[in-house]
Amino acid sequence: MKKILISLLIIATAVACGDKNKDYLVKIKTEYGDMTVLLYDETPLHKKNFLELAKSGRYDSTNFHRVIEGFMIQGGNVAEKEGVQEKEEDRVPAEIVEGYYHVKGALAAARQPDNMNPEKMSSSTQFYIVDGMPWEVMSTNVRLLNQKMGELLQDTAYGDLLKQFQELARNRDNKGMNDLALANKDLVEEKYGIDLSVDTSQFPEDYQGKGGYAPLDGEYTVFGKVVEGLDVIDKIASIKTTRNPASGEMSTPVDPVYVTMEVIEMKKKEITEKYGYEYKEE
């Protein structure tokens, strides 16, 4: 393990010592549109690994195999595509950097759970892109909202609203039910004399107004972000899924979402001008 880590560090350092005025972006192409991701210099092992996989074409024809709206879209299962098992020794050491959060559009590495992987080492290929909870959800006490909404719907005066929820439930439209509950937040607050807001100061500034999935912070390596094509995340996250027999979660796309990747070399100055990303001074 120590030899592997040393080798990765040497290679990552060599990559970093190239043209310091240029960087690489990766365009992830799907039938729903393209997402352009920027990779952080502060996570050099993950950056090098992702670029190598994208350049070599090993990511091409993989798919987003795990999709959960309001959470994330996960892909990059190269091992399944190639008909092999991912080797433990190929995993990437964790590079969890303070300040890189699971905001909407964050690119992070998938990994095995803590009981099997206490060092939080990342998968050698699998990644996910955060869809996350909308800011309106993060800033609302959703649990209490749903509880009070359930009480309100027992009142015959709100029969029409009940019918709307029942129709959404029949169609298994969880997002639709959540959106309808949020749309009636003011009604619930007024009827029960409660405040459903939460203290948003608990969330880092990066989340403010954007949303994301804060419970994952500090647990997984965030090594980049989508700088173009955020709408594509929403499109993929909302596709129809079926139950995964292994996990029991509704996360397996009915129709596979295949990807191809293109690596784009660009001057850092141009990246800053086009995407507003400010590189940290060395």
In which domain, by residue range, is 260 found? Answer: 2-12+21-132+210-268
* Domain endpoint, select from 160, 175, 197: 197
Residue 277 lies in a domain: no
Q: What is the pLDDT along the chain (282 residues), one digit of tens a residue?
A: 444 444 444 444 444 446 889 999 999 999 999 999 999 999 999 999 999 999 999 999 999 999 999 999 999 999 999 999 998 899 999 999 999 999 999 999 999 999 999 999 999 999 999 999 999 999 999 889 999 999 999 999 999 999 999 998 888 777 788 889 999 999 999 999 999 999 999 999 999 999 999 999 999 999 999 999 999 999 999 999 998 888 888 899 999 999 999 999 999 999 999 999 999 876
Same domain, 182 and 121: no
CATH number for position 72: 2.40.100.10
Residue 197 backbone dihedrals phi, psi, to 5 degrees: -75, 155
Same domain, 252 and 124: yes
Q: Give me the residue label for tokens 């190639």.
A: 82
Residue 276 lies in a domain: no
What sign has the CA pseudo-torsion 103, 36, 229, 73? Answer: negative
Residue 278 lies in a domain: no
Whether 223 and 12 have beta carbons less than 8 Å apart is answered as no
Residue 282 lies in a domain: no
Same domain, 113 and 36: yes
Residue 261 lies in a domain: yes
Q: What is the domain count for the chain?
A: 2
